[in-house]
A and B are shown apart, each in its own frame.
Chain A
Amino acid sequence: MAIHFIICFNKQGILRLGRWFQSSGHSLQDKNSLAQILKLIMSRDSRTQSNIIDFDDRTKLVYRRYAGLYFVMGVSLEEDGLLYLAHIQLFVEVLDLFFGNVCELDILFNFYKAYMVMDEMFIGGELRETSKELLLDRLTQLEKLP
């Protein structure tokens, strides 16, 4: 069970965060694949279409849109899509608590902090902490460091 990649981009299709976990061996990190992913996700109607979609013969995309930002995870086809929706939700909730009502600009200007949040939650594509309390504790400590 592992995430191949996590990306976050805005309505204009500009990437704001991207983390590719090499261990999956199928990263789709090249510009072409990325453009396809963005195009596919942005063309979908959130009210009538599912948030899980097969992308190629190995990867499906699980995504959710929060205001102007899309969060997308690429996972293997046989994975439980609903679970990764929950992953995304948790990630966004933690970002929200950490930044305090997070918005695109927070992530843009403090991308390294956003990566810090991501790295506290996911390691090598696996979720590693599920308690928001513990995560925030830890993140606040880390933020205080020089």
Chain B
Amino acid sequence: MGSLRTFIKDVRAAKTLAEERSMITKESAKIRTRLKDDHLSLSKRRKNIQKLLYLYILGEKTHFAQVECINLIASDEFENKRLGYLAAMLLLDEKQELLTLLTNILKSDINHPTKYVVSMVLCTLGTLTSVELARDLYPDVEQILKFSKDRYLLKKAFQCAAKIVIKDPYLASVFHPYTVKIFSMPDVCTHGVLLGVNQLLQSMATVVKSNEFNDYDAVASTILKVVPELLGILKQTNSSTLNTAYDVHGVCDPFLQVETLYTLRLIFLTFKDEVSSYNSKFTSILGKMVTNVESSKNSANAILYEIVRTVFTLESQDSLRVQSINILAKFLSGKDINTKYVALNSLLQVVSLEPQAVQTHRKFISRCLFDPDISIQKRALELIFNIIEDSNMKETVDELVNFITLSDGEERDLILYTVEHLLTMFDIRGIKSKGWTLAVVIRILKSMGEHLTVEIIGEILVMINNATELSDKRDIALQLLQLSLSKDQPIISEDNFGWKLITVWIIGEYANLVLGEPGVTDISLTGYLNNLNNIYSDDHKLIGYILTAALKLSSRISDPGCIEKLRQLVKAHEQNTDLVIQTKAVHYSILFSQPKEIKTAFLEAMPVFIKNVAHELDSGEKAISRKPVQTDLLGDLLSDIPSEKKPVASISNKPGGGSLDLLLHSFTNKNPSLGASAPLTTTTTSSTSDQPVTIPNIQISENIPSSALEIHTSSAIQVFSHVESANQGSANIRLFFKAKSSVTQLAVLVAVSKTQKLNLGTISRVNMIPGQVATQLLTITGSGILKFRIKLSSQNGINLQFDHKFDTTL
């Protein structure tokens, strides 16, 4: 049997994958047989285990050798032990019962006279800390911390202690004194040892509040002594001039600096009251560090990033927060991709806390849209949507549209994400200048129409349909049609399905507004529909739209030849193999031949779609979502920062079905943000039905204040909201329910977004006669945009839900 080296060489030299495979299987089988042989010498065993480890790296099964590791460790020779420990760390894991076999050997080896053996035990223990091992070996680790002067052993012992404390929190009371003691021994305080101390402190801070840890005060008093030392380390490493041993590109030990920052952060969070006297000192050091660290190298940026995180976790002063955001923005302007990526991530995390400060760096953020890395683009996009406000709206939207038109359709997800968010934003903010938003939409449609989903196109249709100014509609119709009908070089790409669909719809709805404009004639419009009808005969979606458009157009034009052509078009589809189209065509044909007066009444342009209307939950099965928009908004409400895939995923192919799922999800999961813990079933209703008809609540005025906003109205009930107070982090909102018809046992469920918590007050009455008002107070705490979803139900048939978003951000 050859050596390890030969084996590795042979495997490498294998010419085909099959040859390699057979070589490996053969060797693996050989090793297995050999290891079974009780008479195999230790040196041969060692050789076999070495090969086995190589097989492990190659991803082979090696479990049969696990006991063998323990045999090697049990040997007296260092050589065997060394390989045994390496193999144990690679092949065993914490869950295995074999570890119990290891306990005794570890216990004796940890007191081995050779420090290298002790060191290996500590390393193994740090890697494979099971609860049992932790409890069996902690006294030995403590002995090392107590007596050893060897910095190699000390640093490992600290790290083992850190792992042990995590496994058994009670042991924190054993180890905490050593975190102070070590600072009295400066000669062994190498950075490695300090890293270990940091880790032990982190473990302590992590466990000390859990499990009703009973030695909290003792640990806290230790911590109080450690904090000045840690601050000292920070100050010293941060300001120290070149120290070659720890230098990383001109920065002194960034690892220790970051580790110490992290430890301090945990301590200041966990022992907030105990260490409050050090707050100002810590802040001033952070302030100095910010100016001290020169951001140009990766390691320096790592420290800066950690400082920023600390500043925001500790709710430091505003000036420091703004300074931190400026640092992050500076990252963005640099060339390093990783730093940019990290900076955008962090900005996303803090944007809700300091929107204004982030706002000032919008230029840099926008520039990241054009970064070649898609994950950077995506984060920049998210961030931009977070900081859009009225003052920069036009400029920002322009940039966004530029971005998607230049992206060449390569990243469809990003385009969809952008368009969808733009439309939602237009919708929610109720942008006043409709003409401008429509122009934006046309731009998007023109260059990106082929990438848009049917749902987004539907949303655009609603937007055009709901435009209040007739002149806006006319403008957009004219623009679309003139481009579509243009005889010159086709401006609109052949594949631009979205554009075509919308044009067809516009011809049906608004032909009368634009007929007579240059190029827009009975003939040209009829020709356009006919042409599309021929080209896309197998696209049922488009054909459906064409049929409607043809029918509607026929009532708006006068040229008899054209009307006849349209009639033929419709008639031809009476034979369509698609049943839906066929039905439509048959119905339309009948309508077609009706007298003009009747037709005209039928074929009026569509009225305004009412958005955000509650969809009735018919028997809890079919929610009739009027528009895909709804689904979208619902999806949005569930998380403030939708993931990249979300826009596509949140749109359900079955309208209604998707939104119902979301709804159920929102109301049934155990999300703490739910106002009522009752699931969608009748619990809430039944709990209130035991109570008297009205719950007297003297203090609450049931007069709806004039400033209250109507957020919902249906045939049964009107809902108003009134923001009573909204400060940073919390808001009181009063809801008023005004009955339009009598209401019995009204049950109100409210959900807020994940970043917020909701406290739902008692409703003043559950039964109402028409005109009566019930009121209820919501207290929302947390961060992010203020929005909620309300679900109302009553015993006499109210069953609806709707969403509302406020302009306020917590």
Q: Are B195 and A127 in contact (CB under 8 A)?
A: yes
Q: Are B372 and A131 in contact (CB under 8 A)?
A: no
Chain A residues, CB < 8 A from B520: none
Beta-carbon contacts under 8 Å, B178-203 to A: 190-192, 195-196, 199, 202
In the assembled complex, the CB of B635 is this many whole angstroms from the nearest CB of chain A, namely 18
- B516: interface (CB < 8 Å): no
Q: Are B86 and A115 in contact (CB under 8 A)?
A: yes
The 9 closest A-B pairs by CB, nearest first: A48-B372, A82-B302, A50-B341, A123-B126, A124-B126, A129-B192, A83-B302, A50-B337, A131-B245
- Which residues in A have some Cβ–Cβ distance to B below 8 Å? 1, 14-19, 21-23, 31, 34, 45, 48-54, 80-83, 85-87, 89-90, 108-109, 111-112, 115-116, 119, 123-124, 126-134, 138, 142, 145-146
Q: Are B57 and A18 in contact (CB under 8 A)?
A: yes
- B82: interface (CB < 8 Å): yes
Q: Are A134 and B86 in contact (CB under 8 A)?
A: no
Q: Are A112 and B338 in contact (CB under 8 A)?
A: no
Q: Are A86 and B254 in contact (CB under 8 A)?
A: yes
CB contact under 8 A between A131 and B246, given known A50-B373, A123-B127: yes
Q: Are B123 and A81 in contact (CB under 8 A)?
A: no
- B78: interface (CB < 8 Å): yes
Q: Is the interface of B mostly helix, strand, loop or mixed?
A: helix
Chain A residues, CB < 8 A from B8: 108-109
Most buried by B among A111, A115, A132, A142: A111
Chain A residues, CB < 8 A from B305: 80, 82-83
26 contacts between A and B (CB under 8 A): A1-B259, A15-B57, A19-B90, A23-B127, A23-B163, A48-B373, A50-B337, A80-B258, A80-B302, A81-B338, A82-B302, A85-B338, A86-B302, A87-B255, A89-B248, A111-B54, A112-B86, A115-B86, A124-B159, A128-B159, A129-B191, A129-B195, A130-B195, A131-B190, A131-B245, A146-B77
CB contact under 8 A between A86 and B338, given known A111-B53, A126-B159, A129-B192: no
CB contact under 8 A between A128 and B94, given known A85-B298, A112-B53: no
Chain A residues, CB < 8 A from B567: none
Determine the residue in chain B with the shortest Cβ distance to A108.
B8
Alpha-carbon separation in the docked complex, A87 to B298 (Å): 11
In the assembled complex, the CB of A1 is this many whole angstroms from the nearest CB of chain B, namely 6
CB contact under 8 A between A82 and B339, given known A22-B93, A109-B8: yes
Q: Are B191 and A131 in contact (CB under 8 A)?
A: yes
Alpha-carbon separation in the docked complex, A34 to B59 (Å): 10
Q: Are B341 and A81 in contact (CB under 8 A)?
A: yes
Q: Are B248 and A22 in contact (CB under 8 A)?
A: no
In the assembled complex, the CB of B205 is this many whole angstroms from the nearest CB of chain A, namely 12
In the assembled complex, the CB of A76 is this many whole angstroms from the nearest CB of chain B, namely 12
Known contacts A83-B258, A127-B259, A129-B195; 15 additional CB pairs below 8 A are A1-B262, A16-B57, A50-B375, A51-B337, A53-B375, A82-B342, A111-B53, A111-B54, A112-B83, A123-B122, A124-B127, A124-B129, A124-B159, A126-B195, A131-B245
Chain A residues, CB < 8 A from B245: 131-134
CB contact under 8 A between A86 and B255, given known A123-B156, A146-B78: yes
Chain B residues, CB < 8 A from A51: 337-338
CB contact under 8 A between A124 and B163, given known A130-B192, A130-B253, A132-B245: yes
Chain B interface category by residue count: 35 or more
Alpha-carbon separation in the docked complex, A142 to B95 (Å): 30
Q: Are B159 and A123 in contact (CB under 8 A)?
A: yes
In the assembled complex, the CB of A97 is this many whole angstroms from the nearest CB of chain B, namely 13
- B614: interface (CB < 8 Å): no
In the assembled complex, the CB of A70 is this many whole angstroms from the nearest CB of chain B, namely 15
Most buried by A among B50, B128, B152: B152
In the assembled complex, the CB of A101 is this many whole angstroms from the nearest CB of chain B, namely 20
- B536: interface (CB < 8 Å): no
Chain B residues, CB < 8 A from A50: 337-338, 340-341, 373, 375-376
- B646: interface (CB < 8 Å): no
In the assembled complex, the CB of B319 is this many whole angstroms from the nearest CB of chain A, namely 23
Chain B residues, CB < 8 A from A131: 190-192, 245-246
CB contact under 8 A between A52 and B191, given known A18-B57, A85-B298: no
- B306: interface (CB < 8 Å): yes
- B625: interface (CB < 8 Å): no
Alpha-carbon separation in the docked complex, A17 to B376 (Å): 30
Chain B residues, CB < 8 A from A34: 59
Chain B residues, CB < 8 A from A108: 8, 12
- B609: interface (CB < 8 Å): no
Q: Are A80 and B342 in contact (CB under 8 A)?
A: yes
Alpha-carbon separation in the docked complex, A120 to B311 (Å): 33
In the assembled complex, the CB of A43 is this many whole angstroms from the nearest CB of chain B, namely 12
In the assembled complex, the CB of B272 is this many whole angstroms from the nearest CB of chain A, namely 20
Chain B residues, CB < 8 A from A85: 298, 302, 338
Alpha-carbon separation in the docked complex, A80 to B304 (Å): 10
Beta-carbon contacts under 8 Å, B414-459 to A: none
- B301: interface (CB < 8 Å): yes
Most buried by A among B54, B255, B339, B372: B255
In the assembled complex, the CB of B366 is this many whole angstroms from the nearest CB of chain A, namely 19
- B579: interface (CB < 8 Å): no
In the assembled complex, the CB of A98 is this many whole angstroms from the nearest CB of chain B, namely 16
In the assembled complex, the CB of A18 is this many whole angstroms from the nearest CB of chain B, namely 6
Alpha-carbon separation in the docked complex, A116 to B85 (Å): 11
Chain B positions 777 through 794: 1 when the CB is less than 8 Å from some CB of chain A, otherwise 0: 000000000000000000
